Amino acid sequence: MEQKTMVYLCVGNENWKEFDLADAKALGERGILMGKGVKIGNGTKIGNFAKIYSGTEIGHGVYIGKGAEIGHGVYIGKGAEIGHDAVIGYGVYIGQDAKIGYGAKIGNDAKIGNGAKIGNDAYIKDNADVGDEARIGYGATIGNITGVPAGFRVPARTCAG
């Protein structure tokens, strides 16, 4: 017997209800678009109007905010949080318990380490590497030439690389 994958969908003003992921009607009623081959772990919360493209794998207990857009072939680790209106490019790796702020943009093929925190409206360019437990401040831009070492802190509104 195949086990159901249960996710939580927003049913109004931060109220969540558990649904079977196979319930296409429940997804459609909330404006959630989901591509083929998406794998989502149990206990994940998906906000209204989120877009999750094909080949994405999302761990258990992940939070995806309203209007967030997750590109093709993305991996999101257990317990991670993706803020409202964040945009995650294709091929991105997001480690366990990482936090991506509201409106942040993560470029294609970037790597965000375990426990890293990306501030609201920050921009991580294509191929950038943000180490475990690193902190990227509000509105900061991280270039694709330099990486951010584990535990390093980048102040708000800073351009690095």
Encoding tokens for residue 67?
A: 């209007």
- Would residue 72 show up in a list of annotated catalytic residues for this protein? no
Using pLDDT thresholds of 50, 70 and 90, give the confidence band for residue 154. confident
Q: Which homologous superfamily is 6-160 in?
A: Hexapeptide repeat proteins (2.160.10.10)
Lowest pLDDT segment from 9-18, 51-60, 62-71: 9-18
**Catalytic option among 84, 120, 132, 143:** 84
Using the structure block, give the residue that is written with the tokens 């003003």: 13
- The CA-to-CA distance between both ends of the chain, in Å, stands at 51
What percent of the chain has a predicted confidence (pLDDT) above 70? 91
pLDDT of 2 strictly over 70: no
- Per-residue pLDDT, averaged over 130-153, amounts to 88
Instruction: Give the model's pLDDT for residue 124.
Output: 95
Backbone region of residue 133 per phi and psi (left: phi > 0; alpha: psi in -120 to 50; beta: other values): left
Instruction: Give the model's pLDDT for residue 42.
Output: 85
Q: What is the mean pLDDT of the chain?
A: 89
